[in-house]
Amino acid sequence: MPLTIAASVLLSTALTAGPLSAPVSAPVSAPVPVTAAASDAAAVHPAAAAPNLRACYDGRCKLTLRKAVSFRVSSRFGITRLAVSFTGQYVRVKGTGPGVASQATLGAGTSGSVNGIGVRVLSLSSGTAVLRLAPVR
């Protein structure tokens, strides 16, 4: 309820309540400024932004993930989609395409490949995985 309506309701109630033995004082406070702090949260914490998965189409990108993702990759790798999931212990990278599926399970600091897309786990925790992808062919 805006401050002016609240003050009007309080004043109206005090005036219609009848005679009072003590003076009634309505609390008055200055307007509270509204800031854009909530909308600026993503600007302050750029890592909280969603990763640019389209940049990985050619098999070359760096990803900082906070949740499992799936994205399209070039069919030159023999797959058309890469799915990445993780826990604090490992990263699972699965490539799929028409009639094909391939996957690698990697720990922190290790590397492997899925159908010609090299994957290196740069860092890993229960809430974040940082990967570098690069073609190996």
Segments forming the whole domain that contains residue 72 = 51-135
Q: Domain total for the chain? A: 1
What pLDDT band is residue 48 in, cutting at 50, 70 and 90? low
Task: Give the residue among 79, 65, 61, 83 at the shortest CA–CA distance from 115.
Answer: 79
Q: Which of 23-27, 97-101, 115-119 shows the lowest per-residue confidence on average (mean pLDDT)?
A: 23-27
In a domain? residue 107: yes
Give the amino acid at 22.
A
**pTM attached to this predicted model:** 0.64
For the cut 90, the answer to whether the pLDDT of residue 127 exceeds it is yes
- Reported as half-sphere exposure (CB side, CA atoms, 13 A), residue 96 has a value of 5
In a domain? residue 39: no
